[in-house]
Structure 1
Amino acid sequence: STGPKLVLFNYQDSRSSIHPTDFLAGFAGYLQVDGYAGYEKTHATLVGCWAHARRKFVEAQKAQGKGKTGKADVALNHIQKLYALESKLKTVPPDKKYDARQTLAKPLLEQFKSWLDKSSESVTKEGLLGAAITYSLNQWSKLMRYLDDGRLNIDNNRAERAIKPFVIGRKAWLFANTKSGAQASAALYSLVETAKINGLEPYDYLCRLLTELPKANTHEQLQQLLPY
């Protein structure tokens, strides 16, 4: 995208699908997500996250036991090839990245899909490996979608990294005492994380914001205080 880079936290009091539907009303672009069913009711074009798919195979690999190898290792090897390719394409322009993915990533994905289909017939769905295979198959059309546009990422780890400070903080303060407090927290984290991804030092930015905000009387002046 050519628009500003920003991180936006939005507080809601439940995981009901009505919240992403309302929040994303009118949006019909790409939305990179995990397997949460609530996103299905939006008008966005959903893009799967390979980090989430990979994580489930990592869990299955750990369950194999120390020093043991199995089907989870095979799956992770398939996924690693996709990431190795993405590493090589990191600085490639979107149009050329699209071409390279069609030529190089698509055959790898087709091989993995064939393996998933075959493995699903012999692996119980109740175990961690079966759950990982089922997740990937259920999400397959979305997991393939990053091939459609060179601007898309293979995963949404950028969002995962942005939310990590909030998750760490939550372990200390556990919860917000009021709804307004939760909304204020979301606004503050939005400003701080947006400042960070735009190369600003959060403390310096907040000092400038708190100094200049009382002087801002117009929409244009407020716009100039945004962290991008």
Structure 2
Amino acid sequence: MSPPAASPVLPADLAAAHAMILAERARRIEAEAAASGVEAMIAHLKLTIEKLRRELYGQRSERTVRLIDQMELQLEELEARASEDEIAAQESARLASLPAPAPRRRPVRKPFPEHLPRERVVVPAPTSCPCCGSMKLSKLGEDVTETLEIVPRSWKVIQTVREKFTCRQCEAITQPPAPFHVTPRAFMGPHLLATILFEKFGQHQPLNRQSERYGREGIDLSVSTLADQVGTATAALRPLHDLIARHVMAAERLHADDTTVPILAKGKTDTGRIWTYVRDDRPFGGADPPAALYFASRDRRQAHPDAHLAGWRGILQADAYGGYNGLYDPARPGGPVTSALCWSHARRGFFELADIAASARRGPGAAPVSPIAMEAVKRIDALFEIERGINGLSAKERRDARQAQSRPLVDDLHAWLGEQRLKLTRSASVAKPIDYMLRRWDGFATVLDDGRACLSNNAAERALRGFALGRKAWLFAGSDRGAERAAAMATLITTAKLNTVDPQAWLADVLARIAGTPQSRLAELLPWSWQMRSCRTP
């Protein structure tokens, strides 16, 4: 047996007993404070980890398109599983000599497009009646079953023949002039050039992968050969790029943003930038066609946006990146640019703290939820709901609607954020997005006084999505010139997409015609003019 525990030594007088009680109370208070601090640190770490996971893997629930993708993937799996189960059930019924199960209902198939060519394959008819053997058969009609098929890509060599003639009287030799080619010593047709350009800059397929695929099809086109044609074709398309650049810079409002792009350097890769400036007047009923302009740089210095927008004045939709501050300077030559900050960007800071509600319901170990952030998201969503109702109206109509509907909500949000900030400590997580808005409130309130401004900068973010996805495929740009070439081609391809034009078909037609088009008529080849021309063509 263990010896009994020793009895605690009690004080003999009242003063000593009082001192012991105070000491014990102090130890308990210190222990409770330490426990409270640990719990707060745990909650803070959980929140930080959750935010870092969001930065790594993207927004989880904010974009509806992600939910749609997941549901479509589940639908794909269920459809494939049902087809497999149906075949297995039919085979089991056949082996067991049982009646075949009823076929399941399949989705209704749309008819094939009328413009597709039809190849008629006639099954040989019987020459005699299988019942009586008579040869007297008469056709009653026919049943046609259509099957969609794809023909593998075929290659061909086009021989352009220029015949020579001599005059028997003066012995002069006559020959038609050589056709225009987009590249010197050209041996690639415009459709092949357009395919190479679009796959490299639109589908993010590097030239080495294209060369390997062509080799498997029996065509030997080396990487150096493809690169030579890409360089000359890009130079031939430069006049159209310049016209699009002038069109973008004539806008009264631009969406601006940038993203990283690795650029190869000596023994390493530098983190360069791709900048975009998007003109899209459709949200407020503008008639001018949309367009996107891209630039490349090796760093993110303020000098780059200053140079890109030199001499331009208007409304700049952008985030709070400090590199744009030189454009807002009242002392800027030609006058300052008006800042219109992105409400979607501000909302994202609150959403990261509010969207944790779903994980909080899964158990006590989940990260805490900020009720202030949830309320802020609801208030900002109310503004976007108003915007959806006035989208496409004229600038004046949008301004009037915002003054009547949005201004009371914005003023109330401003006052509410100020009140909540006074209750928070400097280290509170929700204090950061609140400070982000309050310190730049004039930029966020620009939309109330100018109907040309938009509530978000999503147009520029969408324009950069291709680079964000593509750099995972091509890893890096080979040089500064390579990054600039990618920016120039992205200008052409994205502008075509914004005008609902097939970029590859447009590039093929432009490459076939640009050498023979006078400088004064190059504007006819721009995507929006090309679309109108193709619509008028019978």
TM-score normalised over the length of structure 1: 0.92
Higher relative contact order (CA 8 A, sep 6+): 1
The one-letter amino acid paired with 2:401 is A
Check the 8 A contact 1:17/1:39 in 2, yes or no.
yes
1:27 maps onto 2:321 in alignment: no
Contact 2:350 2:373 (C-alpha < 8 Å) held by counterparts: yes
- Measured after TM superposition, the shift of residue 40 of structure 1 is 1.2
2:311 maps to a residue whose letter is G
Question: In the TM superposition, what whole-angstrom CA distance separates every residue of 1:141-181 from its partner, at most 9, and x where no partner exists?
Answer: 11110112212211111111121112111122222010111
For 2:455 and 2:383, the matched residues in 1 are separated by 8
Post-superposition offset of 1:4: 3.6
146-155 or 122-131: which moved more? 122-131
Segment of structure 1 superposing worse, 61-70 or 170-179: 61-70
Task: Pick the aligned partner of 2:354 from 39, 42, 61.
Answer: 61
Q: Deviations over 1:110-137 (max 9, x none)?
A: 1110111111122234454211111111
Between structure 1 and structure 2, the one with the greater Rg is: 2
Alignment pair present for 1:8 and 2:309: no
User: Distance between the aligned counterparts of 1:69 and 1:20, measured in 2?
Assistant: 37
**Matches of 2:518 and 2:393 in 1, distance apart?**
43
- Distance apart, 1:63 and its partner CA: 5.3
Segment of structure 1 superposing worse, 123-132 or 153-162? 123-132
Contact 1:34 1:48 in 2 (8 A): yes
Tell me the residue number matched to 1:96. 397
Displacement, 1:108?
A: 0.2
Match of 2:321? 36
Is 1:46 the counterpart of 2:347 in the alignment? Answer: no
**Which residue does 2:28 correspond to in 1?**
none
Where does structure 2 lack aligned partners over 5 or more consecutive residues? 1-280, 282-286, 328-335, 362-368, 529-538
1:192 counterpart = 2:493: yes
Q: Distance in 2 between matches of 1:119 and 1:34?
A: 24
* Corresponding residue of 1:76: 377
Aligned mate of 1:179, from 465, 471, 480: 480
* Paired residues for 1:128-147 under 5 Å: 128-147=429-448
CA contact (8 A) 1:166 1:189 kept: no
What is the aligned partner in structure 1 of residue 407 from structure 2?
106
Question: In 2 relative to 1, CA 122–186 (structure 1 residues): closer, same or farther, beyond 3 Å?
Answer: same
How many angstroms apart in 1 are the aligned matches of 2:407 and 2:523?
Answer: 42
- Cα separation, 1, equivalents of 2:478 and 2:457: 30
CA contact (8 A) 2:370 2:430 kept: no
Aligned residues: 227
Where do residues 146-185 of structure 1 align in structure 2 (5 Å cutoff)? 146-185=447-486
After TM superposition, the structure 1 stretch with the greater mean CA deviation from structure 2, 118-127 or 164-173, is 118-127
The DSSP-based 3-state class of the residue aligned with 2:434 is helix
CA drift of 1:69 comes to 5.3
Higher helix share: 1
1:84, CA displacement in angstroms?
A: 0.8
Residue range with higher mean Cα deviation, 27-36 or 83-92: 83-92
3-state SS of paired residue (1:136): helix
Q: Say which of 510, 513, 522 aligns to 1:222.
A: 522
Q: Distance in 1 between matches of 2:431 and 2:474?
A: 36
For 2:409, the aligned partner's letter is L
What is the alpha-carbon distance in structure 2 between the residues aligned to residue 211 and residue 113 of structure 1? Answer: 57
3-state SS of paired residue (1:196): helix
Report which of the two has the higher share of strand.
2
Q: How far 1:214 moved relative to its partner?
A: 2.8
Residues of 2 paired with 1:165 and 1:178: CA distance?
19
Amino acid at match of 2:447: Y
Structure 1 portions without partners, runs of 5+? none
